[in-house]
Amino acid sequence: MSAPVSEPVVVNADPATGVATRPAKGRWLAEVLRTERLTPQMMRVTFGGAGLSEFAVGVPTDSYVKLHFVPRDAPYGVPYNADEIKRDLSPEWWPIMRTYTVRSWDAGTGELAIDFVVHGDEGVAAPWALHAAVGDQIYVTGPGGAYAPNPAADWHLFVGDDSALPAIAAGLESLVSGSRALAVIEVGSPADEQRIASAADVEFIWLHRDDPAGPPDIAATVRELRFLPGQVHAFVHGDAGFVRELRRYLRVEKSVAREFLSISGYWKRGLAEDGWRTAKQSWAQPVDDAEAQLER
Ligand SMILES: Cc1cc2nc3c(=O)[nH]c(=O)nc-3n(C[C@H](O)[C@H](O)[C@H](O)COP(=O)(O)OP(=O)(O)OC[C@H]3O[C@@H](n4cnc5c(N)ncnc54)[C@H](O)[C@@H]3O)c2cc1C
């Protein structure tokens, strides 16, 4: 099979000037340069190689990419031609797509870091990250992304579990001196906390799943927070369970306007990402209905 290496497919150019306003989305062949166990439940994989030479990220601090994993025992390896695979093989052999945040992209060194939650043997991406070896190759598509802390906000609220920790860390790192933030982050244990550098005045609340008092309730913790004065810009992502509860709370009870709220379920317990992608629309419906009532 003939195998394309990397293909920038869309250049988002200003029609008047021809100057690119957002980085090109594309399909990139990335190579594992190194892996590092950041904390017991977080694995960092750093990618590089010639295939990423035209990769770029824009303003969003929640930039994400899709990683395309070759199913175990598939009759092909990387690099491959996705069109030929879809034409010649049955769907169980098609590459499996998973979504991950760009923890960092260094255009100087051409290094792309992605932090994977190690959530057990189930799934595709987490076990892959655990066993990734230098030289392994994988196709990456993107980047997408929509959120960056709004400088017009008086303060910033970050809420998430460890799947959102890379995006929360990137958001906090981007804040300028003089800004204020509250960050409520759930991780496996105290050893999974990360040191996050920020010029802002940040108050961290770390919750631990191994808490001897019982598993934490992230939504209840947010409900008990004393909000800072003024306009909040909130970034709330992670397990769909607490995210739905907080979406209702922030939109309906705290009246946070849509444009000051970035909120979504990054994953759902018991569902692989493919199933969650399909279920997402009906999951959001009850809160959409409650919001519609509010706006009537
Ligand atoms: C925009 C976006 C950005 C994301 N960024 C990151 C990121 O930077 N790092 C990151 O680790 N994740 C991130 N995620 C979440 C990640 O895409 C999902 O966790 C994904 O399901 C993992 O794929 P998998 O193949 O490991 O497990 P899957 O095959 O999708 O799922 C297998 C099983 O594991 C469970 N599971 C999935 N994720 C978790 C988890 N985090 N904890 C416990 N159980 C889980 C599922 O419910 C299912 O039962 C992001 C998601 C989105 C939408």
pLDDT of residue 1 exceeding 50: no
Residue nearest (by alpha carbon) to ligand 1 atom 12: 163
Ligand 1 atom closest to residue 265's alpha carbon, by position in its atom list: 53
Query: Residue 18 above 80 pLDDT?
Result: no
What pLDDT, in 10s, does the model give residues 211-234?
999 999 999 999 999 999 999 999
Residue 291 pLDDT > 70: no
**CATH level 2 (architecture), domain 155-295:** 3-Layer(aba) Sandwich (3.40)
Ligand 1 midpoint to CA 18 (Å): 37
pLDDT of residue 7: 55
Mean pLDDT of 195-216: 97
| pLDDT for residue 138 is more than 80 | yes
Q: Which residue has better confidence, 233 or 6?
A: 233
For residue 36, the model assigns a pLDDT of 98
Burial class (CB in 10 A: 0-12, 13-18, 19+), 108: exposed
Q: How far is the CA of 237 from the centre of ligand 1 (A)?
A: 12
Contact 85/94 with Cβ under 8 angstroms? yes
Q: Tell me the CA–centroid distance for residue 63 and ligand 1, in Å.
A: 16
Of the two residues 233 and 284, the one the predictor is more confident about is 233
- Report the pLDDT averaged over residues 196-207: 98
Residue 19 is predicted with a pLDDT of: 47
Out of 22-26, 75-79, 180-184, 237-241, which region has the weakest mean confidence (pLDDT)? 22-26
pLDDT value at 123 more than 60: yes
Considering only CA atoms, give the Rg of the chain.
20
Closest residue by Cα to residue 157 from 192, 203, 209 = 203
The sign of the CA dihedral 252, 253, 257, 259 is: negative
Task: Give residue 71 CA to ligand 1 midpoint distance, Å.
Answer: 17
Average pLDDT over residues 225-246: 96
Which atom of ligand 1 has the smallest separation from the CA of 124?
A: 25
Element (H, E) at 73: none
Cα separation, 171 vs 157, whole angstroms: 10
- The DSSP result for 150-198, as a single string, is -TTSSEEEEEEETTTHHHHHHHHHHPPTT-EEEEEEEESSGGG------
57, 266, 274: which to mutate for ligand 1, most atoms within 8 A of CB?
Answer: 266
Q: DSSP secondary structure string, 266-278?
A: EEBTTB-HHHHHH
Which numbered atom of ligand 1 lies nearest the CA of 98? 17
* Ligand 1 binding pocket, CB closer than 6 Å: 64, 98-101, 115-117, 119, 122-126, 163, 166, 266-273
Supply the pLDDT for residue 24: 62
The structural domains of the chain, with segments of one domain joined by +, span 7-144, 155-295
Q: What gap in Å lies between CA 98 and CA 80, rounded to an integer?
A: 18
- Is residue 113 pLDDT above 80, yes or no? yes
Protein residue closest via CA to atom 21 of ligand 1: 273
The 10 Å Cβ neighbour count of residue 282 is 8
The answer to whether domain 7-144 has CATH 3.30.1050.10 is no
pTM (two decimals): 0.93
| Atom number, ligand 1, closest to the C-alpha of residue 96 | 25
257-274 tens-digit pLDDT = 999 999 999 999 999 999
pLDDT surpasses 50 at 11: no
Q: Whose CA is nearest to atom 43 of ligand 1?
A: 119
Distance 272 CA to ligand 1 centre (A): 8
Section 82-110 average pLDDT: 97
Ligand 1 centroid vs 19 CA: distance in angstroms?
Answer: 35
For residue 273, the CA-to-ligand 1 centroid distance in Å is: 7
The strand pairing partners of 69, in sequence order, are: 96
